[in-house]
Amino acid sequence: MNTVAVLKLTLHHGIVGYLAGFQSGKNILVFTDSFRSDQQRPTLSLLTSPLYPQVDRILEKTYVTHQRLHPLLSNLLPEGALRELIAQSLKVHIDNEFQLLAALGHDLPGALIATPLDPEEIPDEIKFKLQISNPDQILKQEIRTDNKFSLAGVQMKFSMKAKDGRFTLVQATESSLHGDWIVKTPSSRHAFVPLNEYPMMSLAKMVGIDVSEIRLVDMALLQNLPPLNLPQEQYAFAIKRFDRQSTADTTELIHIEDFAQIFGAYPQQKYSTTNYEQIGKIIYQFSYNKILDIQQVASHLLVNILLANGDAHLKNWSMIYQDKRTPRLSPAYDILMTSVYIENELHFALNLAKNKDWYLAEMKHFEQWAEKVGVPWRVIEKQLHAIMDKARSVWQVLLLDLPMFSVHKEKLREHWKKLHPDFQILTDD
């Protein structure tokens, strides 16, 4: 018998759909009729917003996949070492995404919650939609009560609670299940990653990039971590979650989605599916404050060039639904100088006006980008010149005191010298 388990998908306490995972590896996702017919529904994805073309067809469709889940759900799961760690603790294969989502469903990125159902809890019409013909084939999905959360991405990182200067990985048995900080431990592959990301995010914030609160945290202040084989480095990097709003007693979940979800791309396609013009078009068309947000996108792209960040792929851009419905560009995250870890790296993650080489990038590429996006060039040009003026006036001095590996600082200064004159930051030596 091809047994099956079912997850209920809820957003802000309302049911949006159901997900079935069969023993054969087949997964079926359906949305509820009530969610589809509600014109005031909360935004699960830009693709399910009443503003999106052909949204009814999208919500009526039954989505069948094998092992992997639909990209909307697959992109909620971690990649790399963290995924391996969680799969090992659950004793499931790393490609069994239904089992991973079932285990992690109470603390996903954003506000979606996936809850295992008992057989008697599944409505008959949903059984029909999920192609469940025999009630006896339905299993209760057993969930272990270990530390479980999901943070999309490759690096080892944990969703933690901050209190009195310490960060604690919350037990799933505790009443408060949601961490409100992302804490990234030192990398076993690359040296001093926290001492790279913290100064790069700091420099970005100093020129006007929207960034959440960040901290360098002594590893001794991290509590309840699982056994990890980490290098003997002193600091972890912490950033306050912008998809969580905590008070003394509760944590409100704020929904977000990354651009891999918006474009229907799997994590493995995050470098190849689209370009920065398409990201800009989506933001300029759908953002509630399109001028401010498209200026932030342009500023972020320029800062990635200035800081030699070659990893601003689809999953490192997100929309946030602060009021549960209206899309805005989220604060920036995952800005670091990747070129110090990849020999001879010259490229950013996606095409910008058909160019990926940051040493060939100049103002004209941004003008071409603005034209493709459909935003007036004067709106973008003014913003870019303001970024360059700030960076040239303060970055060299600020870099002296930022906690960064000295070799990495010198590589950043060399990078600034090699950029096109439009973007050069010349040092005094």
Active site residues: 311
Q: Are 178 and 251 in contact (CB under 8 A)?
A: yes
Q: Are 83 and 94 in contact (CB under 8 A)?
A: yes
The phi, psi pair for 248, rounded to 5°, reads -65, -30
131-to-17, 19, 141, 171 alpha-carbon distances in Å: 14, 11, 18, 35
**Displacement of CA 301 from its chain's centroid (Å):** 17
Q: In this structure, what DSSP letter does residue 226 have? A: P
Q: Which of 238, 211, 405 is nearest to 303 (CA)?
A: 211
Using CA atoms, how far apart are residues 214 and 14, in angstroms rounded to an integer?
A: 32
Using CA atoms, how far apart are residues 97 and 89, in angstroms rounded to an integer?
A: 14
Using CA atoms, how far apart are residues 274 and 281, in angstroms rounded to an integer?
A: 11
Q: Are 364 and 420 in contact (CB under 8 A)?
A: no
What six digits make up the tokens of 314? 């689809």
Using CA atoms, how far apart are residues 255 and 242, in angstroms rounded to an integer?
A: 9
Using CA atoms, how far apart are residues 43 and 153, in angstroms rounded to an integer?
A: 23
Q: 371-378, long-range: CB within 8 Å, 24+ apart, which pairs?
A: 372/277, 372/280, 372/281, 373/277, 373/280, 373/281, 373/284, 373/294, 374/281, 374/284, 375/280, 375/284, 375/291, 375/294
Using CA atoms, how far apart are residues 39 and 21, in angstroms rounded to an integer?
A: 29
- Pairing type for strands 214-218 and 235-240 reads antiparallel
Using CA atoms, how far apart are residues 429 and 418, in angstroms rounded to an integer?
A: 15
